[in-house]
């Protein structure tokens, strides 16, 4: 006995009905759903009104299979609790939302094993592309999984590891040099550099910049204090280690470390900046909320995320015509109470 393939459920509204109500072709409706930037605003508004009026809900997985593309992208950063990465994520998500995409957000916690697991998961979810701040020791190998599956990837807060790759980052060597030059000009000679693992590109580059500043000045010295991660608790640990022999100044690889350092110093009666100058990096929102407002090296975090997202979608939409770009922003010194004497 012959069987009949099931049709749409009774009451289900499809693209053809939306097209008829809006007075456009089904292809235009598809563009509004999948590539809204390609449709004139007046036409897009008319189609969206028809969608609302008819109660149309698209089948996301089915439409992705028919079109051969999905509406998901991945974003993987080091630490979701760090306000620097939260700001990056806002820049990415805002742009993706405007373009009709959803973002799967995950963290590597600076673990190469976790990085590999997350990238494999993102590939299995059928993402169109991935924005990733890689763990240096495993980044290029981990990304090979994406390239093998034809998934576009943009390096975020990290330089490109191959010519045919987009990246958006900040010149952290210049930022480290900027911070320590400021400390030297304020009279510091013995400067501690507090950072997370130097296997992280950001920590290593900021250290290189700090040493370059000392070399160019012809005076001063840098001593390294390396901790396990880039959190306020690790900053407190670093400050505890420095109490026995206080430096003139402390340059921290991020603001969270700097806040932890200042918390311990102030609790121990060490005055900032009168006895020790302290400067951080990133200029997160909380830099002005501490007991002593924190000097910092500012990065354009929201803009980094947004531009990286634009590059990723451009590559996804036009892989043949896409021109890979490696964009390098310059940081900015922000002087506040913690280094003013």
Q: What would the DSSP string read from start to end of 222-273?
A: EEEEE-SSSSHHHHHHHHHHHGGG--SEEEESSHHHHHHHHHHHHHTT--TT
| Alpha-helical runs (H) found in 55-200 | 60-67, 83-98, 112-124, 139-148, 172-185
At 55-92, the pLDDT tens digits run: 776 654 444 444 445 789 999 999 988 999 999 999 99
pLDDT at 9: 39
Helix, strand, coil proportions of the chain in percent (round to 5)? 50, 15, 35
Rg of the chain taking only CA atoms, in angstroms: 25
pLDDT at 118: 92
Structure token digits, residue 252: 């921290």
**Any idea of the CA torsion for 121, 125, 131, 135, to the nearest 10 degrees?**
0
pTM for the model stands at 0.78
**Any idea of the CA torsion for 262, 265, 266, 272, to the nearest 10 degrees?**
-70
pLDDT at 69: 55
Question: Would you call 182 exposed, middle or buried from its count of C-beta atoms within 10 A (0-12, 13-18, 19+)?
Answer: buried
pLDDT at 267: 96
Q: Let me know: does 108 contact 136? Beta carbons within 8 Å.
A: no
Strand 296-298 with 332-334, pairing: antiparallel
Residues in the chain with pLDDT values less than 70: 1-12, 57-69, 137-142
Question: Would you call 171 exposed, middle or buried from its count of C-beta atoms within 10 A (0-12, 13-18, 19+)?
Answer: middle
Closest CA to 192 of 218, 217, 214, 222: 222
pLDDT at 193: 98
Strand partners, 75: 105, 131
Q: Let me know: does 115 contact 108? Beta carbons within 8 Å.
A: yes
Closest CA to 15 of 28, 3, 2: 28
């Amino acid at each position: 006995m012959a069987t009949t393939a099931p049709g749409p459920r009774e009451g289900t509204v499809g693209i053809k009905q939306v097209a008829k109500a809006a007075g456009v072709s089904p292809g235009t409706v598809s563009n509004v759903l999948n590539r809204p930037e390609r449709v004139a605003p007046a036409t897009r508004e008319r189609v969206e009104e028809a969608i609302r009026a008819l109660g149309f809900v698209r089948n996301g997985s089915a439409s992705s299979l028919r079109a051969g593309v999905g509406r998901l992208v991945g974003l993987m950063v080091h630490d979701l609790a760090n306000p620097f990465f939260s700001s990056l994520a806002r820049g990415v998500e805002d742009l993706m939302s405007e373009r009709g995409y959803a973002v799967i957000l995950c963290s590597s916690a600076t673990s190469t094993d976790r990085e590999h697991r997350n990238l494999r998961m993102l590939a299995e979810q059928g993402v169109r592309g991935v924005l990733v701040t890689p763990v240096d020791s495993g980044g290029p190998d981990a990304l090979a999984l994406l390239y093998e599956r034809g998934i576009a990837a943009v390096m975020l807060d990290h330089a490109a590891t191959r010519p045919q790759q987009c990246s958006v980052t900040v010149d952290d060597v210049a930022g480290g040099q900027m911070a320590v030059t400021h400390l030297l000009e304020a009279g510091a000679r013995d400067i501690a550099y507090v950072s997370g693992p130097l296997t992280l590109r950001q920590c290593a580059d900021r250290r290189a910049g700090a040493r370059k500043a000392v070399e160019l000045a012809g005076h001063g010295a840098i001593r390294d204090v390396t901790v396990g991660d880039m959190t306020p608790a690790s900053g407190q640990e670093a400050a505890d280690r420095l109490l026995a022999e206080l430096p003139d100044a402390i340059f921290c690889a991020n603001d969270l470390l700097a806040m932890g350092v200042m918390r311990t110093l102030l609790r121990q009666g060490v005055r900032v900046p009168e006895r020790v100058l302290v400067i951080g990096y990133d200029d997160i929102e909380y830099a002005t909320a501490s007991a002593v407002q924190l000097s910092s090296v500012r990065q354009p975090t929201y803009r980094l995320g947004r531009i990286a997202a634009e590059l990723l979608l451009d590559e996804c939409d036009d892989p043949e015509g896409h021109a890979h770009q490696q964009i390098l922003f310059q940081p900015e010194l922000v002087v506040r109470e913690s280094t003013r004497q």
